[in-house]
Amino acid sequence: MTSEERGVPAALAGRPWYTANEVLAFLVELAALGALAWWGVAAGEGVAARVLLGVGAPVVAAVVWGLFAAPRARFRPPLAGVLLVKAVVLGSGAYAVHAVGHPVAAVCFAVVVVVNTGLAEGFRRRTGYLA
């Protein structure tokens, strides 16, 4: 089975750093959603508010991501728009970590987000693959 048959573009086959960075990007996205849920539960006053914020914040972030920043987004804005959505969603995740009382972890998360996003865009430009 060729790489094209497995759904991997030929330009990316055999590029382990690209693949590792894409896996890291997915994990960072999940971590941001988890951080938003954690923040929502911690920030809410009362059970109803905790549930609403704990579920609502990550759901809103996931919907915005799916509409504008996901590889198969329904609407595909120019690169600056995609990066803005990524900055807002992933930055909100970093802020959420800070807001629940972990400022060092928030800074580390933010650094990982910036480096990961920069590498991802660099890999995509170099290979000509815009997922």
Residue among 113, 85, 83, 82 at smallest CA distance from 97: 113
pLDDT digit string (tens) for 97-131?
999 999 999 999 999 999 999 888 877 776 655 44
Residue 18 has pLDDT above 60, yes or no: yes
- Give the residue extent of every domain in the chain: 34-125
Q: How many CA atoms lie within 13 A of 69 on its CB side?
A: 22
More confident residue, 26 or 11: 26
pLDDT level of residue 19 (50, 70, 90 thresholds): confident
Check: CB of residue 86 under 8 Å from CB of residue 29: no
What's residue 9's pLDDT? Answer: 57
Q: pTM for the complete prediction? A: 0.81
